[in-house]
Amino acid sequence: MIKAYALAVVGFVVMAGALVFGFSAGDFWGEGGRLASMPWGIVSLVDVYTGFALFSGWVVFREPSRAVAAWLVLLVMVLGNAFACGYVLWALARSRGDWVVFWMGPRASSSVNQSRPA
């Protein structure tokens, strides 16, 4: 679990730094328009948002509140992998070292109870 924490922290720091660099040194709308006009720019955007959608599927699965899940998905779509790394850190902290709880969230307790014979 320590490796997962380290990866999420490094990912968050790198992404946050990249976002600060991009917003301070670049032109979001101008460069974004050029990126979207190039074939590999489109491929990159489709790739990134496919990953966001997969990650968001996990978030929706593990969050018991649909309203909270919707806000979290919106944050993933807007803030990208910096937010995803933050969510992973939050989920790791809440799991207290239990990988089943990390992956399944509150559903883990009901899953464990259903798999045990009475």
- pLDDT, tens only, 16-43: 999 999 999 999 889 989 999 999 999 9
Enter the pTM of the model: 0.83
Looking at residue 68, its pLDDT comes to: 96
- Report pLDDT for 110: 63
Torsion of CA 53, 59, 64, 66, to 10 degrees: -30
Distance, in Å, from the CA atom of 46 to the CA atom of 41, rounded to the nearest integer, reads 9
Q: Give yes or no for residue 111 having a pLDDT over 80.
A: no
Question: 34 lies in a domain?
Answer: no
Give the total number of structural domains in the chain: 1
Range list of H helices, the chain: 2-25, 28-36, 39-62, 66-79, 81-95, 99-104, 107-115
Nearest CA-CA partner of 51 in 84, 22, 18: 84
Q: What pLDDT does 118 receive? A: 45
Residue 88 maps to a domain: yes
Q: Which two tokens stand for residue 62?
A: 């593990």
pLDDT of residue 109: 77
- Average pLDDT, stretch 97-101? 93
Q: What percent of the chain has pLDDT over 70?
A: 92
Question: Within a domain: residue 55?
Answer: yes
Residue 114 placed within a domain: no
Across the range 89-118, mean pLDDT stands at: 80
Both tokens of 21, joined, read 């660099």
Structural domain range at position 91: 2-25+39-105
pLDDT by residue (tens digit) across 45-57?
999 999 999 999 9
**The predicted structure's pLDDT at residue 107:** 86
What dihedral do alpha carbons 49, 89, 23, 51 form, nearest 10°? -10
pLDDT higher than 80, residue 115: no
- Indicate whether 115 belongs to any domain: no
Q: Is residue 118 in a domain?
A: no
